[in-house]
């Protein structure tokens, strides 16, 4: 498998080269500038030249208004994660080919408003952390060819005691354009731990359009994102309400009350996604939907969202689902797959693989779905006259932690050719690859049943993601010992197993050195005097997992860096 960091590097380089090539902006006299306040930052933005990098000094800033109307500049925290934008925020990016990076939003409220609004094009929003911040929208994309990458969204506050809904809106909103596709990209972001009442609560992770935009072409791609415990914010982790969007290579893990919803809008696809202990995919008011090469394990169990809910939307009797297609997916020990009873037409389920040891695989049949080339082990639960073969598919747990084919599987080379022509959208894979990103045969009849191609050569590029694969780099850590070396005069080693913090420093021989540890909200959690040696070990067993700031003070000397306990 290709390492995640290699994929990230190649992606970053590709975006960098593409943006510069498209806009033709190279400036050999670009400068790196430091701003020390928000007003200073705005002045430096206003006077910046193409290629300039503006670093905002680390610290907390309150009630911030920032307008970025320039082209090809970078606005970033001096140290990634070292700048906290607190209170109210109104950040607007109307220029093109800009980068906004490294900021944290962990304290404050932008009531009824948007934190970051992008109306320009070819901009990159990256390395942002939204945790516990209250706003209607954390990021809203209104322009074209913008990228949101390596950001974290979690713990969006909501008043569950007084409101009938979360009421405030989703975390990441894409607004389609009536005259041209947006072609925006959401990738390597984490979405986790959303409070609320669940169901139609109103705080989706990602919403692509809404009812107003359902006939517009968005062409948003959501890829390599990680979702965990978001279902109390809203049952639709990704709510698609526009046309020609692609959801691929994402992981839903331990997210039982949330799903991907093709809520409104036609010609959308989902492929290469992992749904593990989570909800699945729900087409609702949408036609010409293609879902393929997806893996579902324990999806829709224990009263959570169904693995797949194939629904006729009764609140709108004029809408009937048409041409909803599930092809080459694998379902392992999932909840009932609900076909919705009435309403659906021209749906096709082909070359899927089902394993279920107890209970029914399907429920609530309709007359508008046909089946071909599927393999199952278990009890169907509904009458399907053809297209379903009962046999042990001989799956085994693989090194990536999910159930794949073995050499003796009857699914190998057993696919049917009886399914509709695939959608051929820009940037899409139309069943040329399996869930691992490995090549399938060109001939439909030579493909394997299920989400993977057993004999495919090469190195896999897709697997179930972990939280450490996504989100801001400054939030990542590993078990055991990790060294944080952010300052020249001292380093911090965190041993999560022994619950100790080892501080190595080279300071003048002051008599008294004060060591303080703060939470990110600025509250002091530990304060001690240490000896003027070159190494100190501090017990941290009383500290909860999280990100902390450590500060050394000695006379007129003061220096800080972050560390993480996990």
558 burial (CB, 10 Å; 0-12 / 13-18 / 19+) is exposed
pLDDT class of 111 with cuts at 50, 70, 90: confident
Q: How far apart are alpha carbons 483 and 563 in whole angstroms? A: 9
* The pLDDT of residue 4: 43
Please provide the DSSP assignment of 330-395 as one string: EEES---EE--SS--BSEEEES-EEEEEEEESEES--SSEEEESEEEEEE--S---SSEEES---E
* The pLDDT of residue 484: 44
Residue 240 confidence (pLDDT) above 50: yes
Residue 20 confidence (pLDDT) above 60: no
Out of 271-280, 448-457, 476-485, pick the least confident. 476-485
**Beta-strand (E) ranges in 58-162?**
59-68, 74-77, 83-93, 99-101, 103-105, 109-118, 124-126, 129-131, 134-141, 147-149, 152-154
Encoded tokens for 56: 């905002």
Q: Are 115 and 138 in contact (CB under 8 A)?
A: yes
* The pLDDT of residue 25: 42
Q: Are 189 and 8 in contact (CB under 8 A)?
A: no
Q: How far apart are alpha carbons 288 and 13 in whole angstroms? A: 35
* The pLDDT of residue 490: 64
Per residue in 163-174, pLDDT (tens digit) is 555 556 889 999
Residue 192 confidence (pLDDT) above 60: yes
Measured in whole angstroms, how far is the alpha carbon of residue 303 from the centre of its chain?
A: 24
* The pLDDT of residue 26: 43
* The pLDDT of residue 22: 43
* The pLDDT of residue 451: 98
Per residue in 469-501, pLDDT (tens digit) is 999 999 975 433 444 444 445 667 777 666 777
Q: Which of 236, 104, 250, 88 is nearest to 173 (CA)?
A: 236
Per residue in 133-146, pLDDT (tens digit) is 999 999 999 999 99
Q: What is the DSSP letter of 544?
A: P
Instruction: Please enumerate in sequence order all residues whose Cβ is within 8 A of that of 334, keeping only pairs 6 or more positions apart, or say none.
Output: 280, 296, 297, 298, 299, 300, 301, 307, 356, 361
Residue 384 confidence (pLDDT) above 70: yes
Residue 23 confidence (pLDDT) above 80: no
């Amino acid at each position: 498998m290709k390492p995640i960091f290699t994929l990230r590097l190649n992606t970053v380089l590709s975006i960098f080269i593409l943006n510069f090539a498209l806009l033709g902006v190279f400036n050999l006299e670009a400068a790196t500038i430091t701003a020390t306040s928000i007003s200073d930052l705005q002045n430096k933005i206003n006077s910046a030249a193409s290629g300039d990098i503006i670093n905002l000094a680390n610290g907390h800033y309150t009630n911030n208004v920032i307008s970025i109307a320039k082209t090809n500049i970078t606005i970033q925290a001096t140290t990634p994660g070292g700048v906290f934008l607190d209170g109210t925020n109104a950040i607007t990016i109307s220029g093109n080919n800009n980068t906004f990076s490294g900021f944290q939003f962990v304290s404050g409220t932008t009531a009824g408003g948007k934190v970051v609004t992008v109306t320009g094009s070819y901009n990159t929003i990256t390395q942002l952390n939204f945790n516990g911040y209250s706003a209607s929208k954390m990021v809203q994309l209104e322009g074209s060819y913008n990228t949101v990458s390596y950001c974290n969204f979690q713990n969006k506050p909501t008043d569950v005691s007084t409101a009938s809904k979360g009421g405030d809106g989703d975390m990441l909103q894409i607004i389609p354009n009536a005259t041209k596709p947006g072609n925006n990209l959401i990738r390597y972001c984490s979405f986790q731990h959303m409070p609320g009442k669940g169901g139609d609560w109103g705080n989706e992770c990602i919403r692509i359009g809404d009812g107003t935009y359902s006939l517009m072409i968005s062409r948003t791609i959501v890829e390599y994102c990680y979702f965990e415990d978001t279902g109390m914010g809203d049952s639709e982790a990704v709510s698609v309400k526009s046309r020609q969007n692609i959801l691929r290579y994402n992981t839903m893990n331990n997210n039982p009350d949330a799903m991907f919803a093709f809520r409104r809008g036609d010609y959308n696809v989902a492929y290469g996604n992992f749904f593990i202990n989570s909800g699945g995919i729900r087409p609702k008011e949408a036609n010409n939907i293609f879902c393929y090469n997806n893996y579902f394990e324990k999806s829709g169990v224990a009263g959570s969202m169904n693995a797949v809910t194939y629904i006729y939307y009764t609140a709108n009797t004029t809408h009937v689902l048409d041409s909803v297609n599930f092809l080459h997916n694998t379902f392992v020990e999932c909840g009932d797959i609900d076909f919705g009873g009435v309403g659906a037409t021209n749906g096709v389920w082909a070359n899927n693989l089902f394993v279920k040891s107890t209970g029914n695989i399907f429920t609530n049949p309709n007359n508008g779905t046909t089946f071909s080339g599927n393999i199952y082990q278990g009890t169907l639960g509904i009458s399907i006259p053809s297209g379903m073969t009962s046999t042990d598919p001989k799956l085994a747990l693989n090194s990536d932690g999910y159930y794949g084919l073995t050499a003796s599987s009857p699914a190998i080379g057993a696919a049917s050719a009886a399914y509709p022509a695939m959608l051929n959208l820009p940037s899409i894979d139309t069943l040329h690859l399996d869930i691992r990103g490995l090549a399938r045969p060109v001939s439909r009849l030579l493909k394997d049943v299920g989400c993977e191609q057993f004999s495919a050569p090469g190195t896999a590029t897709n697997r179930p993601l972990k939280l450490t694969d996504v989100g801001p780099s400054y939030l990542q850590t590993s078990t055991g010992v990790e060294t944080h070396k952010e300052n020249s005069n001292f380093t911090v080693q965190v041993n999560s197993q022994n619950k100790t913090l080892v501080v190595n420093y080279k300071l003048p021989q002051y008599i008294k050195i004060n060591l303080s540890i703060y939470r990110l909200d600025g509250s002091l959690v530990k304060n001690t005097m240490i000896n003027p040696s070159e190494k100190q070990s501090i017990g941290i067993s009383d500290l909860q997992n999280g990100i902390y700031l450590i500060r050394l003070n000695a006379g007129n000397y003061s220096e800080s860096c972050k560390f993480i306990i996990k």
